[in-house]
Amino acid sequence: MSNLQSIKQRFGIIGQSELLDRALSTAVRVAGTDLTVLISGESGVGKEVFSKIIHALSPRKHSQFIAVNCGAIPAGTINSELFGHEKGAFTGATADRKGYFETVDGGTIFLDEVSEMPLDTQAYLLRVLESGEYMRVGSSKVQKTDVRVIAATNVELDERVKKGKFREDLYYRLNTVPIKVPSLKERREDIPMLFRKFALDFAERYRTDPITLDERAQLLLQNYQWPGNVRELKNMAEQLSVLVEARTIAAEDLLEFMPQLMDRHLPMIPERSGEGHNFQEREILYKLLFDMKADLNDLKSLVFELIRANDLSVSGIKSFSQLAGSGYEEGSTNTQDLPAALFPASTDPPYEGEKDSKPILIDKPVQERYAPAVVEDEDLSLEKKEIELIRKALKKHQGRRKDAALDLGISERTLYRKIKQYDLQ
């Protein structure tokens, strides 16, 4: 622990978080080896500081250290930057140029944002890590280098591997020793200490009185999500040192200058293009929920009828109220419609796994609950049906044969003939 404390003082690391100490301890342990290290963490957590600690505590500390931001180098020139190029290798290559791996031979190279490295460059880097060999752009001569590689990423590399944007073999080669640097929201207990350090540094630099925070203002900082991590906290401390006149800052003053502290970054439904599309999906979801509710109510009613019709015993009125749904509310005194078996003489509350409770069984034959069916013979004579329809049509139209014929879908002459035929005068 004393060794970690001295390293923190040496490299200006502020914090007592357990996650921070664990990451720092891993860096100290791996520093004495030549193993490749992959440092992961959100942007602004100080990944480069960890790479410098590893280099400073390693046997290569007297050799060069260089930090390269892979995301800031164009894809067309990154191979030349890392491995060098020969004269005439491409337009603008007017002379030979050494790359970083040749320049830092014997030292340490820190590859920040390694996830942004193009796929062809990843293949070259894999060869360097496996054999220490590389070739300049435009050259066929194989060169050797002895460089320790420390990589860093602010994204999940395994997810990029699944999407085919990062080589799987390179991922496992870089991830020999992983170090996870905690974000600021994962070490909230260190926030007041860090703020105090940044405020003191600013006051010393510009010879002013340092600002301090009251208890409620500190709570505001600790409850904030800090998407920019330590970098955002340092910027905030410097802004407040300039903008706020009072040296002791209250929560109200803090919110006046930093209203974003009230942001909670809660999860939300992502917006989609097209209002109509969202509306249709919402309507379908509502209809599904209403149908499910109707089905559940039907099921409750069915169980209720089974209990009442078979005079079954149910252990506990609360469990029955869950079945009866809207038909019964707990605490209601309207119990005349409920079977007597629901109210046992014992007042002891039911308990889980009760052995004496009677199972719900339907012991009465279904036929006893219904009257026997009576099958009646029906006259299917077409002539009688025709007479019946003609009489109904004449009655409906009060004897107006023209309207009756139109309603029946026949001609008036045919209706006259049918009336005479069936003697319907």
CA dihedral 60, 61, 66, 68 (to 10 degrees): 70
Whether residue 106 contacts residue 146, with contact meaning beta carbons closer than 8 Å, is answered with yes
Percent of the chain with pLDDT over 90: 50
pLDDT at 322: 53
pLDDT at 315: 60
238-264 mean pLDDT: 87
CB atoms within 10 A of CB 32: 11
Say which residue, 92 or 122, is predicted with more confidence. 122
For the stretch 366-404, pLDDT in tens is: 555 556 666 666 667 788 888 888 888 888 888 888 888
Whether residue 206 contacts residue 161, with contact meaning beta carbons closer than 8 Å, is answered with no
β partners of residue 144: 133
β partners of residue 110: 67, 150
Query: What average pLDDT does the chain have?
Result: 82
Q: How many helices (H) and strands (E) does the chain have?
A: 17, 9
Note whether residue 227 is domain-resident.
Answer: yes
Is 70 exceeded by the pLDDT of residue 32? Answer: yes
Asked if residue 199 and residue 178 are part of one domain, the reply reads: no
CATH no. for residue 144? Answer: 3.40.50.300
Compute the distance between CA of residue 250 and CA of residue 218 in angstroms, rounded to an integer.
9
Token duo for residue 387: 């007479």
Compute the distance between CA of residue 225 and CA of residue 265 in angstroms, rounded to an integer.
7
Is 90 exceeded by the pLDDT of residue 276? Answer: no
Largest CA distance in the chain: 127
pLDDT band at 261 (very low <50, low <70, confident <90, very high): confident
Please state the domain count of the chain: 4
Q: Indicate yes or no: pTM above 0.75.
A: no
β partners of residue 111: 68, 151
pLDDT at 334: 47
Domain enclosing residue 20, as ranges: 2-182
Note whether residue 271 is domain-resident.
Answer: no
299-325 mean pLDDT: 67
Compute the distance between CA of residue 397 and CA of residue 170 in angstroms, rounded to an integer.
92
For the stretch 331-366, pLDDT in tens is: 444 444 445 544 444 444 444 444 455 555 555 555
Is 80 exceeded by the pLDDT of residue 121? Answer: yes
107-132 mean pLDDT: 94
For the stretch 49-108, pLDDT in tens is: 999 999 999 999 999 999 999 999 998 899 999 999 998 888 888 898 999 999 999 999
Say which residue, 299 or 100, is predicted with more confidence. 100
Asked if residue 233 and residue 87 are part of one domain, the reply reads: no
Is 50 exceeded by the pLDDT of residue 134? Answer: yes
406-421 mean pLDDT: 85
Asked if residue 245 and residue 156 are part of one domain, the reply reads: no
Asked if residue 410 and residue 351 are part of one domain, the reply reads: no
Whether residue 320 contacts residue 342, with contact meaning beta carbons closer than 8 Å, is answered with yes
Residue closest to 422 by CA, chosen among 381, 388, 397, 395: 388
For the stretch 174-230, pLDDT in tens is: 999 999 999 999 999 999 999 999 999 999 999 999 999 999 999 999 999 999 999
Phi, psi of 277 (to 5 degrees): -65, -45
Asked if residue 177 and residue 48 are part of one domain, the reply reads: yes
Note whether residue 124 is domain-resident.
Answer: yes
Asked if residue 211 and residue 90 are part of one domain, the reply reads: no
Asked if residue 318 and residue 176 are part of one domain, the reply reads: no
